[in-house]
Amino acid sequence: MSKSPTIELPVNISGKPCRILAGPGLLAQAGTLCRETGLSGSCLIITDDNVGRLHGASLQHALGQAGYDVQLLQVPPGEISKSLAAAEDLADRMIAGGLDRGSFVVALGGGVIGDLAGFVAAIYHRGIPYVQVPTTIVAQVDSAIGGKTGVNTQAGKNLLGSFHQPELVLADTTTLSTLPDREYREGFAEVIKHGAIRDAAMLDQLNPEDSPQSLAPLIARNITIKAAIVAEDEREKSDLRALLNFGHTIGHAIENVAGYGRFLHGEAISLGLAAALEISQTKAGLSLEAAEQVRAKLKAYGLPLTIPSDLATKSLLAATRRDKKFSAGKIRFVVVPALGQAHVTEDVTEEDMGRAIDSLRL
């Protein structure tokens, strides 16, 4: 398949416009695009060691050519860096580097870097602008969109965070070609989730054989889904944005109990989706045929559908109780009665979740 052209998706959340572009070669245009967006002052690229080695110099060069004074800070890859300690360390290094309230941050990497760098931007001098340059499928279609930033604690995922909308999002599909196969495939769990909750037709069109260079229309389609939901319910005041959590209650529990890093985010979400499909069948009337269609897509991308035996159901349920999606002690669980439709229910019990978890064991 040939390369896709660049697609621009203007988004307005809480009255604040954000330019989102998806397509090949955007990294090289980052400096010009930041200038067009009105960003000034010095800038800091936050990335991890792996992405920094691949793309750090190119992004630094592009920003420098546009006249920015650019610094680059790297953290270790993986969920280990998505912590309050890492955020504090970055802030200290920013202070030492002379970054001030007129500076801006550029997040270069996957979901961990986007969440961490966005969180640092949100708290540094009580908030400075930032740009998202997501380099993974999961970040391009999901985590870079919507302004959720945060870090993990030992008790759970994303329990500390802030809403802080980016000024600009550059989803350069060229960077996807540099991903290891496992990290490339895991991001499609979020794509499949979007199909299950909002765009059933997209599920039929997903093809694991498509090349990264051809994915701009798919990336844009998913960005449109995410941005439309966030624009209507940025801070989860209604149940609308909560629909994006389909599969995440149990998925996040699996990440937490397994220890961050054992499963990639999309792998844990695949397991959470499989459990949520089971619950949707028993509690919301989802047909077996529809559930099997989603499971088949997860399997086609090499994503897991069975929970390892060493992750005890009791431990996973305990982790779900610390999830942000609980309210006043009640479980707020997202179910899909039919593909492309979703709603939040409080009718799902711990027993229901336990049975769904156990149904995924070998």
Instruction: State yes or no: is 343 an active-site residue.
Output: no
Of residues 93 and 13, more confidence is placed in 93
Q: Which of 164, 248, 297, 324 is catalytic?
A: 248
333 pLDDT more than 80: yes
The residue-averaged pLDDT of 329-343 equals: 92
CA distance linking residue 232 with residue 227, whole number of Å: 9
- Count the helix, strand and coil residues of the chain and give each as a percent rounded to the nearest 5: 50, 20, 30
Cβ 146 vs Cβ 120: under 8 Å: no
Instruction: State yes or no: is 53 an active-site residue.
Output: no
* pLDDT tens per residue, range 159-175: 999 999 999 999 999 99
Cβ 25 vs Cβ 176: under 8 Å: no
269 pLDDT more than 90: yes
What pLDDT shows up at residue 234?
87
Q: Which of 55, 79, 82, 148 is catalytic?
A: 148
Q: What percent of the chain has pLDDT over 90?
A: 86
96 pLDDT more than 60: yes
In this prediction, residue 65 has a pLDDT band, given cuts at 50, 70 and 90, of very high
2 pLDDT more than 60: no
Instruction: State yes or no: is 245 an active-site residue.
Output: yes
What pLDDT shows up at residue 327?
59
The residue-averaged pLDDT of 89-112 equals: 97
Q: Which of 126, 209, 289, 351 is catalytic?
A: 126
* pLDDT tens per residue, range 130-154: 999 999 999 999 999 999 999 999 8
What pLDDT shows up at residue 60?
98
Q: Which of 79, 167, 186, 190 is catalytic?
A: 190
The residue-averaged pLDDT of 62-90 equals: 97
The four Cα atoms 95, 97, 101, 105 give a dihedral, to 10 degrees, of -110
Instruction: State yes or no: is 194 an active-site residue.
Output: no
Q: Which of 194, 226, 297, 324 is catalytic?
A: 226
Q: Which of 241, 295, 297, 324 is catalytic?
A: 241
Q: Which of 185, 265, 324, 332 is catalytic?
A: 265
212 pLDDT more than 70: yes
* Domain annotation for the chain: domains and CATH numbers: 7-194 (3.40.50.1970), 236-358 (1.20.1090.10)
Beta strands in 224-362 (DSSP E): 326-327, 330-331, 333-335, 343-345
Average pLDDT over the chain, rounded to an integer: 94
The residue-averaged pLDDT of 265-291 equals: 97
Instruction: State yes or no: is 190 an active-site residue.
Output: yes
* pLDDT tens per residue, range 214-241: 999 999 999 999 999 998 888 878 889 9
Which residue has 């109990």 as its token pair? Answer: 257
Instruction: State yes or no: is 164 an active-site residue.
Output: no
Where is average pLDDT lowest: 10-19, 315-324, 351-360?
Answer: 10-19
CA distance linking residue 8 with residue 279, whole number of Å: 37
Cβ 199 vs Cβ 152: under 8 Å: no
What pLDDT shows up at residue 1?
44
Instruction: State yes or no: is 265 an active-site residue.
Output: yes
Instruction: State yes or no: is 148 an active-site residue.
Output: yes
Instruction: State yes or no: is 248 an active-site residue.
Output: yes
What pLDDT shows up at residue 331?
85
265 pLDDT more than 80: yes
Q: Which of 19, 236, 262, 283 is catalytic?
A: 236
What pLDDT shows up at residue 99?
97
Sequence-distant (6+) residues with CB within 8 A of 333 are 249, 276, 279, 325, 344, 345, 346, 348, 353
Instruction: State yes or no: is 226 an active-site residue.
Output: yes
